[in-house]
Chains A and B, each alone.
Chain A
Amino acid sequence: MSSATLDVAVAAVEPGGTVVAAPGFWRRVWKNKAVVIGFGLLLLMVAIALLAPWIAPYDPYAQDLTNRNVPPFWYGVGNWAHPLGTDPLGRDYMSRLFYGARISLLIGVSVAIISGLIGTAMGMVAGYFGGKSDMAVSFLVTTRLSMPVILVALATVALVGGSLWIVIMVLGLLKWDRFAVVMRSATQQVRSLDYVAAAHAAGASTTRVLLGEVLPNVLPHLIVVATLEAASAILLEAALSFLGLGVQPPLPAWGLMISEAKSYMFFSFWLIAIPGAALALLIFAINLAGDGLRDLLAPEGRA
Chain B
Amino acid sequence: MERRKWGYAKPGLIAGAALAGLLAIAAPALAGKKDDTIRFAYDQAPESVDPFFQNVRIGVIIGANVWDTLVYLDPKTNEYKGLLAKSWKQVDDKTLEFDLREGIKFHNGEDFDADSVVYTLNFVANPNNKVVTQANVNWIDKATKLGKYKVRITTKEIFPAALEYLAGPVVIHPAKYYAEVGPKGQNTKPVGSGPYRVSNYVPGKSITLEKNPNYFKHSPKGAAKINKVEIRFIPDRQTQMAEMLSGNGDLIMYVPKDQADQAAKVPSLQVVSGETMRIAFMQLNTLANTPTPALKDLRVRKAIAHAIDRESIVKNIVGAGSRVLHSQCFPSQFGCTDQGATRYAYDPALAKKLLAEAGFPNGFETEIFAYRERNQTEAIINNLQQVGIKAKLTFSQYAAMRDAIRAGKASLTHQTWGSFSVNDVSASIPVWFGGEADDVTKDKEVEELLKKGNNSVDPNVRKQAYQQALKRIADNAFSVPLWTLPVYYVASKDLNFEAYPDEMVRFWEMTWK
Query: CB atoms of A and B under 8 A apart anywhere in the complex?
Result: yes
What is A's interface to B at a CB cutoff of 8 Å?
Answer: 61, 63, 65-66, 68-69, 88-89, 158, 161-163, 244, 248-250, 262-268
- Bound together, the chains give a CA A268 to CA B259 distance in angstroms of 9
Q: How many Å lie between the Cα of A262 and that of B313 in the bound state?
A: 22
How far apart are A99's CB and chain B's nearest CB, in angstroms?
16
On whether the beta carbons of A88 and B258 are closer than 8 Å, the reply is yes
- Asked whether any CB of chain A lies closer than 8 Å to the CB of B329, the reply is no
Cβ 8 A contact of B395, one of A163, A244, A267: A244
Instruction: State whether A88 touches B375 (Cβ < 8 A).
Output: yes
Closest to A245 in B: B396
Docked Cα-Cα span, A136 to B116, in Å, equals 65
Contacts between chains A and B (CB distance < 8 A), count: 62
Task: Kindly state the separation between the CA atoms of A248 and B368 in the bound complex, as whole angstroms.
Answer: 11
Selecting from B182-190, B297-305, B376-384, the interface stretch reads B376-384
Which 3 residue pairs spanning A and B have beta carbons closest together? A267-B262, A65-B316, A63-B382
- Asked whether, in the complex, the Cβ of B378 is within 8 Å of the Cβ of A250, the reply is yes
Tell me, in angstroms, the Cα distance from A111 to B117 when the chains sit together. 61
Contact (Cβ within 8 A) B394 A250: no
Q: B400 to chain A: which residues have CB within 8 Å?
A: 158
Would you call A267 and B394 a contact (CB within 8 A)? no
**B317: A residues at CB distance < 8 A:** 65, 68, 89
Q: How near does chain B come to A264, taking the closest CB pair, in angstroms?
A: 7
Label chain A's interface by main secondary structure: loop
A161 touches B238 (CB 8 A): no
Interface of B, secondary structure class, is helix
Q: Which of A61, A88, A248, A266 has a CB less than 8 Å from the CB of B238?
A: A266
B256 close to chain A: CB less than 8 A: yes
B258 A69 Cβ-Cβ under 8 A: yes
A267 to chain B, nearest CB (A): 4
Q: Tell me, in angstroms, the Cα distance from A65 to B381 when the chains sit together.
A: 14
Closest Cβ of chain B to A62, distance in Å, is 9
Q: Which residue from chain A places its CB closest to the CB of B256 in the assembled complex?
A: A263
Q: Is the CB of A89 within 8 A of B379?
A: yes
Least distance between B166 CB and chain A CB atoms (Å): 38
A selection of 30 A-B contacts at a CB cut-off of 8 Å is A61-B385, A63-B382, A65-B312, A65-B313, A66-B316, A68-B316, A69-B258, A88-B375, A89-B379, A89-B382, A162-B394, A163-B392, A244-B395, A244-B396, A248-B392, A248-B395, A249-B374, A249-B381, A249-B393, A250-B381, A262-B238, A263-B258, A263-B259, A265-B238, A266-B238, A266-B242, A266-B245, A266-B262, A267-B258, A268-B262
Question: Which residues in window 267-289 of B have CB below 8 A to A?
Answer: none
Q: Kindly provide the distance from the CB of B271 to the nearest chain A CB, expressed in whole angstroms.
A: 12
Q: In this assembly, does B198 line the interface, its C-beta being within 8 Å of a C-beta of chain A?
A: no
Instruction: Kindly provide the distance from the CB of A249 to the nearest chain B CB, expressed in whole angstroms.
Output: 5
Kindly state whether residue B241 has any CB partner on chain A within 8 Å.
yes
Cβ contacts under 8 Å, A158 to chain B? 400
CB neighbours (8 Å) of B374 from chain A are 249
- B237 close to chain A: CB less than 8 A: yes
